Structure 1
Amino acid sequence: MTTHNDVPRIPDSDWLEARFGKGSLWRPADAELPEKLTDHGSRTFLTTVGYPSVQIDVINFDSSDLRDDTDCGAMQPFDADELYGRRHHDDESPPVNFCFAVGTFYDQQLMLDAAGGRVDHYDPNGWDHADGYQGAAASSLATLALLLGLVAERREALEAATGDARTAVATELRDRMIETEPLVADSDFWLEVFEYLLDQ
Structure 2
Amino acid sequence: MELDFVGYDSTGLPEKGLWEADPDELFGRRTPDEDQTQVRFSYCVGTFHQLHLMVDGATGAVEVYNPDGWDHADGHGGLAAPSLPALAGALGLLARLEQRLTGSDTAAALEEFTALLGRLGQGPGDPDLWPDLLEEPREEYADPDG
Q: TM-score range by the shorter chain?
A: 0.7 to 0.9
For the pair 1:122 / 2:101, whether they are aligned, the reply is no
AA matched with 1:63: S
Q: How many residues align?
A: 140
C-alpha distance in 2 between matches for 1:101 and 1:76: 5
Match runs of 1:127-138 below 5 Å: 127-138=70-81
Which of 1, 8, 13 aligns to 1:66? It is: 13
Aligned residue number for residue 87 of structure 1: 30
For the pair 1:185 / 2:132, whether they are aligned, the reply is no
For the pair 1:96 / 2:36, whether they are aligned, the reply is no
Aligned residue number for residue 4 of structure 2: 57
Identity of aligned residues (%): 36
For residues 54-111 of structure 1, what are the alpha-carbon distances to aligned partners after superposition, in whole Å with 9 as ceiling and x for unaligned? 101221210111111xxxx211210111000001354121211111111111101110
Higher helix share: 1
TM-score, structure 1 as length reference: 0.65
Which of 129, 133, 136 aligns to 1:196? It is: 136
TM-score, structure 2 as length reference: 0.87
| Structure 1 gap segments, 5+ residues each | 1-53
C-alpha distance in 2 between matches for 1:129 and 1:183: 30
Question: Deviating runs (4+, > 3 A) in structure 1?
Answer: none
AA matched with 1:83: L
Q: Would the aligned equivalents of 1:108 and 1:122 in 2 still touch at CA under 8 Å?
A: yes
Q: Would the aligned equivalents of 2:52 and 2:65 in 1 still touch at CA under 8 Å?
A: yes
The structure-2 alpha-carbon separation of the partners of 1:197 and 1:170, relative to structure 1 and needing over 3 Å to count, comes to: same
| Structure 2 gap segments, 5+ residues each | 141-146
Which stretch has the larger CA shift, 151-160 or 173-182?
Answer: 173-182
DSSP 3-state at the match of 1:153: helix
